[in-house]
C-alpha cells in the first residue's frame, strides 16, 4: 500500500465525537405513553455483535417517556433486507455492506436503492473460520463441510464470495451456529464460517484444548481488493489465538439502514427523534462499558451508491463545525492501529514511532486541505 493510499484510507476511520447532552429525567411508562417514540431496530443473529450494539443504542437513547429503541433479533443481513422492506413495524436494521452489494448485483430486490436510506455506516465485522484440529489451512477445506449459519445470514454470502476468489469448493451447510459448534467439536464438520464483529459471543469462552483454531485467510491482491484485511488476536480470543500469533482474516462493513417511511407519519417523526438523540449522544457509546466496535464508527462517513436518511444528513450539515472537532489523541490512536494492521497484513516492515508520527502529520495536513 502506498503512503497516499494509507493516508486516504485512514481518513475514513476518523471518529465523530459529539458531546452528550445532560441526562433527562425518565418518566414511568404507562399504557398511554408506552408506544410513544418507539423505533424498532432489527439486529442480526444473537451469536454476533449486533445484538449488543442494539442494546447499547437502547440504553443510551431511551428516556422512558419520549424515546425508546426496541431491538429485535433477526436472522441475518439478507433476511433483514426483506424485513426492512416488508415486515410490519421494522424502522431500522443493521445490514452487511457486501450483502447489500450482492442483492443489488443479483437484482434480488428490483429498485432496492429506493427501498430504504441509511442513517450511518457502522463498524467492520470480521470473518471467523474456526476449524477442527486436522484442518491446517484454508485450502484444506476443499470438499469438506463448512457451516455458514442459517439461510438468509450474511456469513453465507461472504464465505461464498471468499471461497470463489480462492477457488475452494466446499460443501456449505446452514445450521444454527451454536449447533454447528457442537458438530465441529464432534468432528462432523470441518469448520464454522461466521461473520461477526470481534469479539463475537459465539467464540467467547472456547479454547484450543480440543484442537479448535482459527484459519488464516491468504491476503493476496484479489482478496484485499474485495475485503478489508484485518486480524484476530489473543486480546480478542485469548483461548483460541496464542499470544504474538495473530491470525490474518478479512472484514466487511455494516450499515444502519432506515425503512422508507411516509414523511408525515408518526414512525418517521420517531426516526427523526432517534437520529437526533443517537448523533448527539454518540460520544457516550465510545466510552468503556459499551461494545468496542463503537470506536470504529464515523457518523459522517458516506456509503457510496446509497442515499442518507434526510434528517441524518441535515443533522450532520447543521453540526459540521462540531463534527470536525475530533479528539486528537483518539484519532491518532486509530490511525496508528490502522497503519499497523495494514502493514502486518501485507507482510511489510513495521514503521518506527517517528515514521508513524510523520505520516500522521501528513494525514492531518491532507485532511485540512480536504476540508478547505
Q: What is the pTM of this model?
A: 0.78
Please state, in angstroms and as integers, the Cα–Cα distance from residue 160 to each residue in 123, 139, 146, 165, following that order.
Answer: 22, 14, 11, 9
CATH class of 125-252: alpha beta
Given a cut of 70, the residues of the chain with pLDDT beneath it are 1-33, 321-351, 353, 356-358, 360-372
Give the E-state strand segments of the chain in sequence order: 38-43, 68-73, 92-96, 116-131, 145-147, 171-173, 191-196, 213-214, 228-232, 247-259
pLDDT of residue 5: 40
Report the 10 Å Cβ neighbour count for 212.
21
Residue in the block written with cell 459540521: 320
pLDDT of residue 34: 72
Please state, in angstroms and as integers, the Cα–Cα distance from residue 56 to each residue in 24, 185, 202, following that order.
Answer: 17, 32, 19
d(CA 281, CA 367): 25
Cβ-in-10-Å burial (0-12, 13-18, 19+) of 354 comes to exposed
- Nearest by Cα to 195 from 221, 162, 237, 238: 162
Q: What is the DSSP letter of 197?
A: P
- Nearest by Cα to 301 from 335, 334, 256, 261: 256
pLDDT of residue 140: 97
Whether residue 259 contacts residue 72, with contact meaning beta carbons closer than 8 Å, is answered with: no
pLDDT of residue 17: 31
pLDDT of residue 8: 40
CATH topology of domain 26-123+254-323: D-Maltodextrin-Binding Protein; domain 2 (3.40.190)
Amino acid at each position: 500500500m502506498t503512503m497516499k493510499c494509507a493516508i486516504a484510507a485512514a481518513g475514513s476511520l476518523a471518529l465523530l465525537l459529539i458531546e452528550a447532552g445532560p441526562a433527562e429525567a425518565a418518566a414511568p411508562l404507562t399504557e398511554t405513553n408506552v408506544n410513544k417514540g418507539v423505533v424498532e431496530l432489527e439486529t442480526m443473529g444473537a451469536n454476533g455483535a449486533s445484538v449488543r450494539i442494539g442494546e447499547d443504542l437502547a440504553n443510551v437513547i431511551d428516556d422512558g417517556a419520549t424515546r425508546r429503541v426496541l431491538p429485535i433479533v433477526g436472522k441475518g443481513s439478507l433476511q433483514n433486507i426483506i424485513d426492512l422492506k416488508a415486515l410490519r413495524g421494522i424502522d431500522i436494521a443493521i445490514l452487511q455492506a457486501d450483502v447489500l452489494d450482492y442483492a443489488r448485483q443479483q437484482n434480488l430486490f428490483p429498485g432496492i436503492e429506493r427501498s430504504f436510506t441509511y442513517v450511518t455506516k457502522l463498524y467492520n465485522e470480521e470473518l471467523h473460520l474456526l476449524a477442527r484440529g486436522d484442518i491446517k489451512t484454508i485450502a484444506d477445506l476443499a470438499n469438506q463441510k463448512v457451516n455458514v449459519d442459517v439461510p438468509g445470514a450474511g456469513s453465507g454470502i461472504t464465505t461464498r464470495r471468499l471461497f470463489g476468489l480462492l477457488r475452494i469448493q466446499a460443501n456449505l451447510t446452514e445450521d444454527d451456529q451454536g449447533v454447528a459448534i457442537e458438530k465441529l467439536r464432534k468432528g462432523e464438520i470441518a469448520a464454522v464460517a461466521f461473520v461477526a464483529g470481534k469479539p463475537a459471543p459465539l467464540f467467547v469462552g472456547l479454547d484450543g484444548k480440543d484442537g479448535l483454531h482459527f484459519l488464516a485467510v491468504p491476503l493476496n491482491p484479489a482478496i484485499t481488493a474485495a475485503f478489508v484485511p484485518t486480524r484476530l488476536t489473543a486480546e480478542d480470543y485469548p483461548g483460541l489465538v496464542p499470544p504474538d500469533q495473530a491470525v490474518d482474516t478479512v472484514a466487511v462493513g455494516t450499515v444502519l439502514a432506515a425503512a422508507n417511511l411516509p414523511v408525515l407519519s408518526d414512525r418517521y417523526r420517531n426516526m427523526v427523534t432517534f437520529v437526533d438523540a443517537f448523533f448527539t449522544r454518540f460520544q457516550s457509546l465510545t466510552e468503556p462499558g459499551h461494545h468496542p466496535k463503537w470506536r470504529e464508527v464515523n457518523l459522517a462517513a458516506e456509503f457510496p451508491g446509497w442515499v442518507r436518511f434526510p434528517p441524518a444528513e441535515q443533522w450532520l450539515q447543521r453540526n459540521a463545525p462540531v463534527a470536525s472537532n475530533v479528539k486528537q489523541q483518539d484519532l491518532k490512536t486509530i490511525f496508528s492501529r490502522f497503519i499497523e494492521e495494514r502493514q502486518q497484513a501485507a507482510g511489510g516492515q513495521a514503521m518506527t514511532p517517528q515514521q508513524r508520527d510523520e505520516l500522521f502529520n501528513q494525514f492531518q495536513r491532507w485532511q485540512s486541505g480536504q476540508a478547505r
